[in-house]
Amino acid sequence: MRFTNRLILAGGLLAASSAMADDLLLWQNNSLTYLYGKDFAVNPEIQQTFTFEHADAWKYGDNFLFIDKIFYNGQKDANNGPNTYYGEFSPRLSFGKILGQDLSFGPVKDVLLAMTYEFGEGDTEAYLIGPGFDLDVPGFDYFQLNFYNRHTEGSRAGDNVWQITPVWAYTIPVGKSDILIDGFMDWVVDNDENSKGTYHANLHFNPQIKYDLGKALNFGEKQLYVGIEYDYWSDKYGIKDSKFFDTNQNTASLLVKVHF
């Protein structure tokens, strides 16, 4: 399915679900982000990215969706041409909410079933499922820890590969406004080899450091951010780094983000 069709479908599904389950929806937030960065690995080194994000919490869990539209600044990627798209849909179901019981213990606030579907142009599909935990970590706005069994499709095929994904947000008051540090880490902790190919262990660390410019300008808090996104990815896409092909990415991008 083409990128525009996927975006329309995602928007339609979100709108429909909100309309049909208004009594079940606790909150939702949408945003658009623009990123400009250099020194990317594997793909062309200069990239501009437009990202749509949706997050919500409902009676029995939460959902997160993002779709990237990536432009290679006039260059062509060997597989995807001058631009491409990529997205992830990550629903989680809360056992505590479904069972109507308090499952908290120690730093754990809730236990969930975490899932993710990765999609995009070319050989990108993957399906992930496993246990998730909401943690009470002092100072953090939220902290999630998800453990996934990862199934990667196509030439990167991999079964019984485990991925650990923490997700966090931390707010620091600064003068009249705030700095928000949020992001995720995807850590594929083992390898899987079979007749189709190899998906190598890799680590993707992707925090954003953002200043709440809207709050500083009395425009409204948590609506307009500026800052940077740092992106470290060893063995990017599960491709093993070598002296012949550098797949270790270490870069940063300028960022503007609008919430609505």
pLDDT in tens, 39-69: 999 999 999 999 999 999 999 999 999 999 9
Backbone angles phi, psi at 154, to 5 degrees: 70, -150
Average pLDDT over residues 7-24: 54
pLDDT at 20 over 90: no
pLDDT tens per residue across span 188-220: 997 655 434 578 899 999 999 999 999 999 999
Picking from 65-79, 88-102, 187-201, which range would have the lowest pLDDT averaged per residue?
Answer: 187-201
* 132 has a pLDDT exceeding 60: yes
Percent of the chain with pLDDT over 90: 79
- Name the DSSP letter for residue 60: T
Domains and CATH numbers, the chain: 3-259 (2.40.230.20)
State the Cα–Cα distance between residues 227 and 140, nearest whole angstrom. Answer: 19
Give how far Cα 86 sits from Cα of 5, 99, 105, 160, 228, Å.
13, 35, 37, 23, 20
pLDDT (average), residues 87-108: 97
Which residue type sits at 83? N
Adjacent-strand bridge partners of 91: 63
Instruction: Answer whether 138's CB lies under 8 Å from 172's CB.
Output: no
In what helix (H) or strand (E) does residue 50 lie, and over which residues does it extend?
Answer: strand 47-58
Output the CA–CA distances (angstroms, integers) from residue 163 to 132, 189, 208, 235, in the order listed.
Answer: 12, 6, 21, 14
